[in-house]
A and B are shown apart, each in its own frame.
Chain A
Amino acid sequence: MSPALPLLLAALLAGIGTYGVLARRHAVLMLIGVELLLAAAGLVLVTVGQLGPDELASGAVLTLFIITIAAAEIVVALAVVMAMYRTRGDVDLTGEASSADLTGEATNIVLPEAADATPSRSVHAGPGSGEGDAR
């Protein structure tokens, strides 16, 4: 088969992924764009591996590696997004930077459970910050 079709699809996926990364404000939706970029990379590798001489099976093996790395990346990225949601109350990427101090207490907490926790938490702010300094 002609290698042009898969390669054009890969280029299209890369373009769509770039658009997704640039045009989304929701952090998790931006990650969807990153996933599409990685998918485009995998498609190029598989195409070249299947349509050319490939004694080391590098196309298939490197695609498997990319899939694994993408899984690791998405896990860490989603953990960061969840931490961002807990401390800031939103996952808006264009929002103003909120100054959360080193003890992990955000200045503009919107979450109701976090708002409830604020009074009793301030009691523990002393030992908490001391622990942070010790590190």
Chain B
Amino acid sequence: MTSRDVLFAAVGLITAAAAVLAVTNRKVLHAGLWLVVALGGLAGCYLVLGAELVALVQLLVYVGAVVVLILFALMLTRGGADEVDTAPGHRWLAGAVGAGVTVLLGGTLVAAYGWESREVAGPSSRSIGEQIFGTWVWPFELLSLLLLAALVAAVAVATTGWGRRAER
């Protein structure tokens, strides 16, 4: 075990524990805040794996923007559901399905890649930038169209019915 493995185990434990709390906490705002910890821990995992650029984008976009949106939505829909979790029987079934997914995915991935240690040799930020604007430039441009469409759709959906109310 290298020091990188130990470091990853520590950060990964924090991430997994925070993720569990994010999906089991009964207080809606606390669940959202645990999601911040889980996604921040995932950014730490990316850092340990040597992908600094992805880690920083993860921090900026997820923790900076997505989670803030989720927290605002949680506060705006406070009292939106009497009970945040399903019935206990349903929860046990969901836990069984989740455990099945974990075992199946973990078994497949570990069987495919094995336990033997490998060199961490990812692309540098410079080559990532060159590849984005070289090999991946058309998917990248398509993504900007997707973002624009999502923006317009979000405004259109969120303001449905408001025009009529403003008329009177």
Contacts and interface: CB of A to CB of B under 8 A. Distances in A.
Nearest to A78: B73
B54 A63 contact: yes
A38 to B, nearest CB: 9
Contact of B110 (A7, A67, A71, A92): A7
Given A1-B120, A4-B115, A46-B51, A124 B98 contact: no
A14 B103 CA distance: 10
A32 B95 contact: no
Given A23-B90, A43-B45, A56-B135, A4 B113 contact: yes
Main secondary structure, interface of B, reads helix
Contact of A57 (B35, B38, B103, B131): B131
Interface string B24-59: 000010011001001100100110011101100110
Contacts of A76: 150, 153-154, 157
Contacts of A11: 101-103, 105-106, 109
Interface residues of B, number: 98
Contacts of B53: 60, 64
A52 B77 contact: no
A9 B46 CA distance: 12
Pick the most buried of A43, A60, A91: most chain B CB atoms within 10 A of its CB.
A60
Interface residues of A, number: 85
22 contacts: A3-B118, A8-B110, A9-B45, A14-B105, A23-B85, A23-B94, A26-B84, A32-B32, A39-B38, A42-B42, A46-B49, A50-B50, A51-B49, A51-B118, A56-B131, A64-B132, A65-B136, A81-B77, A82-B76, A92-B82, A94-B86, A124-B168
Interface of B: 1-2, 4-5, 8-9, 12, 15-16, 19-20, 22-23, 28, 31-32, 35, 38-39, 42, 45-46, 49-51, 53-54, 57-58, 61-62, 65-66, 69-70, 73-74, 76-77, 80-86, 90-91, 93-95, 97-103, 105-106, 109-110, 113-123, 127-128, 131-132, 135-136, 139-140, 143, 146-147, 149-151, 153-155, 157-158, 160-161, 164-165, 167-168
